[in-house]
Structure formats: structure tokens, C-alpha cells
Structure 1
Amino acid sequence: MRGKGKELILNGKSYKQLFESLYPQLCVFAYKYLSDLDLAKDVVQEVFVKVWEDKITFHSENHTTGFFYKAVKNKCLNYLKSKQYRVTERYELANLEAYETGQFYMSEVLVIETKTVIDKAISKLPEKAAQVIRLSIEDYTNNEIADQLSISINTVKDHKKVAYRKLRGFLGFLNMS
């Protein structure tokens, strides 16, 4: 993105970087509304295409992320309100009203963004430590992790110790106390 005054303008390279960084989490976000992954992907792609075609400029990088979340939310809600959806799917007005609340929107954005930050931090760990932590997050026991990775239980514990120490360093900014 290049700045022009206070505005950020997307060029081909910055647009591609933005797409690659936001697309996965926006698809997860859209899926929370639509419960259909292919449809969620289509919605997110449509939003990116519209931004590119309309040459939308942004006030800041934070504004950019917020804009895309809000645009995806609105596109999902428009789909859920559409006649096509009501005819082809079970239309539940109560769910739609819950989806339109700011609380639902903010909680979903927070969960997805936090997961993205944690995934990036885990990817910075040594390979075995990252594997151990990912399995641990999936509720594998130390014994199951040891069996899965063909390592001893003590090695699992050592990898966890190293991973937790490094993750505390990577994610220290999340500490709200």
C-alpha cells in the first residue's frame, strides 16, 4: 500500500499481500454466518473483487482490516436476507437477528484474529515443539502425542516447556493484566 496524504491506496503487490493475509480468516468469519464453506469463500472473493474494481482507498491499515470484516459481514447478512436463501434454506429470523448484533460481530472477529495471532506464533516455534503444541491444543494427552510423533513422554514435556516459554515471549503483548 502506498500512502497518498493520509490515505492508503492498494496497488497490485499490496493488494495480493492483503488478500493472502486476510482471506483465510475472512473465510472462517463468513462461514460462521453462512455454514457453507464454498459460499463463504465466494462471498469473501466477491468483496475483494469489489474493492479492487472500485479502487477503494483506506485511511490506515487498521481501517483496511476493519473494512473487510464489515463488508464480509454485510454481504453475508444480505445473502441470509435474500429471497433465494429463504426459499432454498431454512430461514430462521431469530438467528439472523443474533447475527446482526455488534456483540456477535465483535466476538467472532476477536476469536478469529486471536487464533490467527496464535497460529503465527506457533509457526515460529521449532518444528517438533509446534507439532506437540498443535496436538496438545487438539486435546491429545502427552501419551497420545508421544505415540503420534514416536517420541518419549519426557520429550513431549520438554517440547511443551520450550514452546510455552517461547509463546509467552511471542504473545506477551496479549496479557491484559
Structure 2
Amino acid sequence: MKSSETDITFLNRLNARNHEAFQLLFREYFQDIAYYAGKILKDMDVAEDIAQDIFVRLWEKNNHFENYLALKSYLYLSARNSCLNYIKHHNIVLEHAQTQKTKETEENTWNTIVETEIISLLSDYIRQLPAECAKIMELVMQGYNSTEISTLTGASSSTVRSQKQRGIALLKKIVSPELYALFILFMQQTH
């Protein structure tokens, strides 16, 4: 030990799970182990957590150290292994997060493509509607609400609502049931 107590006396007390011996070991080596772990991890907060866990495990296990070198080796090897496990786990977490981000990006891209294709198909059908109805339905497809459409077109709110209902009814008659269902879903998302 760094103190004046002899190694053998101290180890006997530590092996006997003497609380004071453990406290002495903790006081004298916690900072050293935390510093060592910090050099590996480059994060002192995590390094201190790891050092604390090492001492907790040491207290909970029934270890028996033959000599002082075995004790120090245990502390430093435990710190090294815990750091490597932390890095391995951290890398797995980062890899998983990156994979999720990639999946979400691919899913968003796919959803945008599908949405664009549906809007394109619906726009073709909307152009077949009577002129005033088509104009209002195009604005509906762009995400405008009835009040905004009324302001943009100069039509009354009741005219906008009736033309919107007319457009929906006409689309139901001329598009496939599947495309109509997608149209209704799109309408619900934009409003």
C-alpha cells in the first residue's frame, strides 16, 4: 500500500473482507483507476463510473489475493476490460442508431416517392373535373384549408366547401377504390 501498513497485513484484512481495509484501498486507488480508465476512454465521467463499479464488484466478490501485485493487476485489468466492454457496447449503440437513421431516411425517401406518385395520379384525375372544382381540389391537394382557399380564389367559404365536396364525390366515381382510399388518407394527413 501507499501507507505504512505492510502488504501482507493489509491483504489479510482485505481478504477477510474488512471494511476499513476496503475503504483504505478505495481511497488510495480510486483516482488512479479512474485516471487510467479516463486515458482509455477520453471521458472522465464514464471513467469514474467504471472505477466505482470495479470497487463495488471487488467488494461484492469473494476474491482472495495472494500478493499485492495480484491485487493491483486485478484493479488495472478490470479497468481495462471494463473500458473495452464500454467501448464495444458504445460502438454497438452508435451502429444501431446509425442503422436506424439510415432505415428512417430510406423509409422517408420511399414514403416521399410514394406520396409524390399518388399526388401525380390524383392530379391527372383532378384535371378532368369541372374547372372551378379542379382549381379548388388542386389547392386542397397542396394542403390549403377551406378558409385559405376562399382567400386565394375569392370564392365564398360555402362555395369552396361545396366544390370540395363535389370534387371528392366525383373523384370517388372516377378513381379506383384503392386510389380513393389513398386520397382520403392524404386528405386526413394534410388537414
TM-score by length of 2: 0.41
Structure whose residues are more often strand by fraction: 1
Max radius of gyration: which structure? 2
TM-score by length of 1: 0.44
Which of structures 1 and 2 has the larger relative contact order (alpha carbons within 8 angstroms, sep 6+)? 1
Structure whose residues are more often helix by fraction: 2
